[in-house]
Chain A
């Protein structure tokens, strides 16, 4: 059985039987990593522990032993809760008011995304030195396939990862948890078992045993709906799924059933794909106070559309499907999508579709979250072809590109759309049933705004010529 010390990386001598050793003979640490398959397993999931909070604590040591919550404003949700805050029952995605109730002494910090992105990139760069097969799941976690790297690093994947974890602690100042197993599903389960600063090695047999008594929701992708469908057929625990034979699962749930049966037994054939292409680009915001007012929501929507458009343009992408996301005060999610005839990267086009979708949803319901996303991505070069019927489209696009250039030079506030400043009537452009019959007033209003946008860009232009 292989065993080494997670803290000093000392390898236990082959002759000792590691089960009896409690502390590392070299440094005295109790954190010994031992497993019969230690030298065989190559697929890892690495997850930074309470990432945002850890970075804030690193930068302000006075916070070390205080409960720290990273999250937005008075409202909004918890982005990250440090481990101290978690002892009070605070967890990420929890509404802020609830978190404050549970832990009134918590230090609440507004997220500083650029700082986290910088640290996340540094961690990812270190991962890249271990293997080219790094599949990021988010800013702070990734799958790594270390198969065949033994010769390169001169040691087993397990020790390579332990070395990496120490390096992250030393150079970035945060801790990570590592799960090592034989596939993605199990690696992720493993990394979660011993957080924070964990290092869990798990073979397939162990995982199957460990999963068996758990409810089916322990399998990723099994939510409430799938769980109740499974329960109707008598599958309540993972063990029930493990016992079922494949033809039975296939008959009951199709290929999805097969997949679940295999996952229950710890089988997962998904590969680690380093350059998973972007599928969608989106932006959302939780409101400071619930809103039902179309006009107010529309303003927020415009800002989000600009954000999405900026990110599309920066990535050289465009998209044809615009999705509006709304969460009402009762936390019910609504998503509404529309596919455009051509991909777009223009804020004005994304906005036109999203605002139309919004107009149909503003029926007095109060919303706590609004978001917009673009999918069905295409190359930026294929976006926004000229249009026969709408000759202003080309001008509008040109205006937007001009505004982009001005903002690049003078910052975001240099040019804003008239809509942002306008405190006009609060009614949505009435959209009769079926969406037929465009309200002339809305069209006029839009033209007015477009003219305003053009005007403001003209007003600014002398400044661009004067600038050095």
Chain B
């Protein structure tokens, strides 16, 4: 293999693919990126066995070929080379090395044979559709914070992506929950989603997809089957395994009969929660919301350090109630509210509360209260 490529192009691709490579690997080949030169194209592939990223760029190929080199080191070398440099990659010699040349710099990296490189056999994809990058970004952004990290309930370690409803009312919906809070985001289902299976996309995959969306004006092509999902984002193709499990029936935890309606100005609320939670202990970060008339009192008491209270004006006309929430969870949800006003639908201090954006439809959040 003998190739010449422009540094910025190369750097951009490597920055995409090298992130997939785990820093610590027990299988040596997984620390490598596969480099393939063919025709006038140079392609890179990296994998962690659950997730695979391939990116193809244009290059001057003097000799076709394929090899693998340590991903992070390759990336670091290219990153440190001067801007605008023409980089020559050469893996034609007898020895199992690839040389990288730019100006008067020369590096040789140990290679491993490409035949050892694992292939995430994608198999047949059954459904294909397109989303605007902005829609997909929003879908992931708004649900991502609620993904669980708990190992025992591995089926919560991702976003549940599925189609709900029929005909023109059908929506593509993303749901994530960790048992404490739940996020649900949706928009009209694009063509091609008909009959698609509900899939659980792993946390790492959605994080990578989010990072790969550099141009929100673009389109993302999605293909999926019952076991795999593939995202085509510009020149990058990301293929991932899906979480093999059943997502719980989340519908029944979304409260429908909560009759105590509270409207708060999002910005004031967020700031107040943040302020009073300063005195909370690291663990039980409970903030108490006391509602009475149009006054909301937020308070935190920490036996070790002190207490804090703050009052804000709200729209509320149901009977007085005291209810506690984890302050971080409240802030996470408040951060997702795009409009000026958040609506909280409360039932009682022991039951889930529903939170919505007054202006932006299509997203809702459920939050479990804490004992205070």
> Do the two chains belong together in a single complex?
yes
Residues of chain A whose beta carbon lies under 8 Å from any beta carbon of chain B: 338, 340-341, 352-353, 356, 378-379, 381-382, 385-391, 435-438
**Inter-chain contact A386/B368, CB cutoff 8 Å:** yes
Given A356, A388, A438, which contacts B253 in the complex, CB threshold below 8 Å?
A388
Chain A residues, CB < 8 A from B352: 388
Bound-state Cα–Cα, A382 to B304, Å: 15
9 intermolecular pairs with C-beta atoms under 8 Å apart: A340-B150, A378-B283, A385-B368, A386-B369, A387-B179, A388-B182, A389-B248, A389-B250, A436-B243
The CA-CA distance from A116 to B99 in the complex, in Å, is: 73
Complex CA distance for A387 and B177, rounded to whole angstroms = 10
Complex: chain B residue closest to A349, CB-CB:
B152
Compute how far the CA of A389 lies from the CA of B160 in the bound complex, rounded to whole angstroms: 14
Q: Are A435 and B151 in contact (CB under 8 A)?
A: yes
Residues of chain B lying within 8 A (CB to CB) of residue A436: 154, 243-245
Contacts of B156 in A (CB 8 A): 389
Closest A residue, CB atoms, query B178? A341
Is A388 touching B180 in the complex (CB atoms < 8 A)? yes
CA distance A387 to B350 in the complex (A): 11
> In whole angstroms, how far apart are the Cα atoms of A279 and B253 in the complex?
36
B 232-276 contacts with A by CB, 8 A: 243-245, 248, 250, 252-253
Q: Which residue of A lies closest to B286 (CB)?
A: A382
Given A341-B148, A353-B152, A382-B284, CB of A387 within 8 Å of CB of B245: no
Contact of B371 among A352, A356, A381 (CB under 8 A): A381
Q: Which chain B residue lies CB-closest to A320?
A: B283
A385 and B250 contact, Cβ closer than 8 Å, known pairs A338-B152, A340-B152, A341-B148: no
A386 to B181, CA, bound (A): 11
Q: Are B243 and A389 in contact (CB under 8 A)?
A: no
Partner of A388, one of B151, B152, B179, B350: B179
User: Which A residues are in CB contact (< 8 Å) with B250?
Assistant: 389
10 additional A-B pairs beyond A379-B284, A385-B368, A390-B179, beta carbons within 8 Å, are A341-B178, A352-B152, A381-B284, A382-B283, A388-B177, A388-B182, A388-B352, A389-B156, A389-B179, A389-B253
B151, B182, B248, B250, most chain A CB atoms within 10 A: B151
List, in ascending order, chain A residues with CB within 8 A of B178's CB.
341
Q: Are B181 and A388 in contact (CB under 8 A)?
A: yes
Residues of the B chain whose Cβ atoms lie less than 8 Å from the Cβ of A390 = 179, 248
Task: Give the residues in chain B near A379, CB-CB below 8 Å.
Answer: 283-284
* Measured CA separation A435–B252 after assembly (Å): 27
B366 is an interface residue with CB less than 8 A from chain A: yes
The reply to whether B366 and A388 form a contact with Cβ atoms under 8 Å apart is yes
Q: Binding site of B, secondary structure by majority: helix, strand, loop or mixed? A: loop
B185 interface residue per 8 A CB criterion: no
- B245 contact from A340, A353, A385, A437, Cβ within 8 A: A437
User: Min CB distance, B284 to chain A, in Å?
Assistant: 5
Bound-complex Cα distance A385 to B368 (A): 9
Chain B, Cβ-Cβ closest to A386: B368
- Interface size of B by CB at 8 A reads 31
Which residues of chain A are near B284, meaning CB under 8 Å? 379, 381-382
A429 to chain B minimum Cβ distance, whole angstroms, is: 13
CB distance from B185 to the nearest CB of A (A): 17
Complex CA distance for A437 and B243, rounded to whole angstroms: 8
Contacts of A352 in B (CB 8 A): 152
Q: Which of chain B's residues have a CB closer than 8 A to the CB of A340?
A: 150, 152
From the candidates B149, B244, B252, B350, name the one contacting A341 in the complex (CB within 8 A): B149
Q: Say yes or no: A435-B248 contact (C-beta < 8 A), given A388-B179, A390-B179.
A: no
Chain B, Cβ-Cβ closest to A343: B283
Q: How far is the CA of A389 from the CA of B177 in the complex (A)?
A: 8
Q: Contacts of B153 on A, CB cut-off 8 Å?
A: 389
Specify the chain B residue showing the minimal Cβ separation from A432: B244
Residues of B with C-beta under 8 A to A353: 152
Residues of A within 8 A of B243 (CB): 436
CB distance from A360 to the nearest CB of B (A): 11
CA distance A382 to B283 in the complex (A): 8
| A379 and chain B: residue at smallest CB distance | B284
Least CB distance, A98 to chain B, in whole angstroms: 38
Chain B residues, Cβ within 8 Å of A388: 177, 179-182, 253, 352, 366, 368
Contact partner of B150 among A341, A385, A391, CB < 8 A?
Answer: A341
Answer whether residue B155 sits at the interface, using C-beta atoms and an 8 A cutoff.
yes
A420 to B199, CA, bound (A): 38
With a 10 A CB-CB cut-off, give which of B152, B177, B248, B250 has the most chain A CB atoms. B152
The list of the 8 closest CB pairs from A to B, nearest first, reads A387-B179, A388-B253, A341-B150, A389-B179, A389-B248, A382-B284, A437-B244, A436-B244
The digit string for B141-184, where 1 denotes a CB below 8 A from any CB of A, is 00000001111111110000000000000000000011111100
- In whole angstroms, how far apart are the Cα atoms of A458 and B7 in the complex? 73
Residue in chain A with minimal CB distance to B148: A341
Residue of A nearest to B49 (CB): A434
Residue from the set A341, A378, A437 with the largest chain B CB neighbour count within 10 Å? A341
* Chain A residues, Cβ within 8 Å of B152: 338, 340, 352-353, 356
Q: Is B10 among interface residues, defined by CB-CB distance under 8 A?
A: no
A425 to B148, CA, bound (A): 33
Q: Report chain A residues within 8 Å CB of B154.
A: 435-436, 438
A283 to B312 alpha-carbon distance, docked (Å): 50
Chain A min CB distance to B287 (Å): 15
Give the distance in Å from the alpha carbon of A333 to the alpha carbon of B370 in the complex.
39
Q: Name the residue on A nearest B246 (C-beta).
A: A438
User: When each residue 338-372 of chain B gets 1 if its CB lies under 8 Å from chain A and 0 otherwise, what string results?
Assistant: 00000000000010100000000000001011110
Residues of B within 8 A of A437 (CB): 244-245
Inter-chain contact B181/A438, CB cutoff 8 Å? no
Cβ–Cβ < 8 Å partners of A391 in chain B: 252-253
